[in-house]
Amino acid sequence: MVVHDQAAPAPHACREPGDLARGLALAHEAAHAAGPGGSRDGGGRSDASPVPRAPIAESWRRSREAGVDAGMPAAPLVFDRDRLADVRAAHPLDPHLPLLRDLLRGVADASDHLMVIADAAGHALWTQGPPAARRAADVVGLTEGFCWSEGTVGTNGIGTALATGRPEYVYAAEHVAHVLHRWSCAGAPITDPDSGQVIGCVDVSAVADALHPATLALVAAVARLAEARLEVDMRRRDERLRERFLPRLRGLRGGGLLVTATGRVLAAGPDGWRGRRLGVPVPGGVLTLPDGRAAVAEPLGEVFLLRMPSARRAGSAAGAPASARAAGGGPLLSLSLLGTDRPSARLDGVHLPLTPRHAEILALLALHPEGLNGDRLSAHLYGDGGSPGTVRAEIHRLRGQLGGLVRAKPYRLACAVDADFLTVRRLLDEGDVAAAVRLYGGELLPRSDAPAVRAERDELAVRIRGLALDRGGADALWTYAQTEPGRADLEALERLRSVLPPGDPRLPTVASRRARLLSGD
């Protein structure tokens, strides 16, 4: 769980909001006149002016450097109602929204306060509050779909908390925008325990003389509770992944690590490294271990197996399963068949190049773990014109690589199989669209003409595209757009153009690809 600093300095320098507004207005004007490189404490004030708190002075400086207009009438709209639902559904806080609302509803409804939950970019996704508070908030854009980043509207409880990474309280004229001087707000960032990245902010806002500084402690506590719930979900996923893949780790000679896609160590051999965070693994890439050694990252669905140098075996693949079987884990065949013209396999970490036909056979046997007789396998590979004799010849050649792991009567694989396309299918079944899109590198065996492979390829492509468009959110859509089919998908690019906020660095690429598709180039 992420622990926030709850120490809250005095929120303002004088008791009366009117006095504070007049004094801080003078200080802010002096600081603004000093320009981006001006005094950090609002130099040029008269001695009678209140001194801006250090976090506020720093926020004013960042706001000036970002070119924030203090005379703006309201926050800008970034998501219309149609897109807002998709963005909400894709956000990791969506399942926990009922809890957050229950915690803050009493405060909001009883005191004319407004609860706001924003994403990591400061986009307000959910609000809760009585009608009077919502009407006042609508005037300044403090509602769903509007952007409250510090670089957009200047100093405010949401944007400044996201900018500093800690709970912040912004009172009256401490806001940069003049239209917000009658408001006060307290915001606390929410950090994802899996990635370690800030994913959102919980904020409570009200008119200046209604929000008590103790509200800062409240939003900080709610943020910590949200992180605790996210951590519970993460631990459940971790246990499921350990249960599934720990036998693979135990089957290694010399030890290794089981690591998440975000670089967290789920299990380690030898013990002692569990819970540590490494770099983000890349399939086939090298990561530095806590003791300084380098290990190769082998993808296993949602996780990576890091093989230490002593654990990487030389020799033929046919000899590899023996050690794993002795360790109780059994041999593991990993298939990489998505988005590549050069399909490959790894048998307990030993790389196996595959011919296109052998890749098709392994894909079909992975899809049918119960096995296929010669007639069915022939029909799946060749259609009505196939011959079981041709299948027998291909199986004979495949056994030259895999030995007794390819069984007959019926044809089947006598080992554990981890296929990238099966992992994507399972993640889609579980509703984890973001993870499925991340693992989907492209179509299944894109050059295959085998009828059953084509059917599986088309079904998976339709599912991944549909869910990415409907429920994936901006990041999932962008990831899909990097695949071969996604690059030529005009609808996906149009959706990305509407979902990405103004100024997002990905927008120029989206616009360029869209223009090429529309022009027919």
User: Looking at residue 207, what is its pLDDT?
Assistant: 85
* Residue ranges of the chain whose pLDDT lies below 50: 1-19, 37-47, 311-328
Give CA–CA dist 462/315, Å, rounded: 41
Give CA–CA dist 419/426, Å, rounded: 11
Q: Kindly report the CA angle at 55 between 179 and 146, in degrees rounded to 5?
A: 40
Q: Indicate the angle between helix axes 490-499 and 451-471, nearest 10 degrees.
A: 20
User: Looking at residue 152, what is its pLDDT?
Assistant: 94
127 in Cβ contact with 97 (< 8 Å): no
User: Looking at residue 435, what is its pLDDT?
Assistant: 81
User: Looking at residue 254, what is its pLDDT?
Assistant: 61
Give CA–CA dist 86/127, Å, rounded: 16
User: Looking at residue 44, what is its pLDDT?
Assistant: 41
Cα dist. 488→86, 354, 424, 442, 484 in Å?
Answer: 22, 28, 21, 12, 7
242 in Cβ contact with 267 (< 8 Å): yes
User: Looking at residue 74, what is its pLDDT?
Assistant: 96
281 in Cβ contact with 261 (< 8 Å): yes
What does residue 191 show for φ and ψ, rounded to 5 degrees? -110, 135
Residue carrying structure tokens 């003791």: 291
User: Looking at residue 315, what is its pLDDT?
Assistant: 35
Average pLDDT for the chain: 82
User: Looking at residue 384, what is its pLDDT?
Assistant: 83
Q: Indicate the helix (H) or strand (E) that contains 357.
A: helix 356-367
Count other Cβ atoms within 10 Å, centred on residue 62: 19
- Indicate the DSSP class of residue 181: T
pTM: 0.69
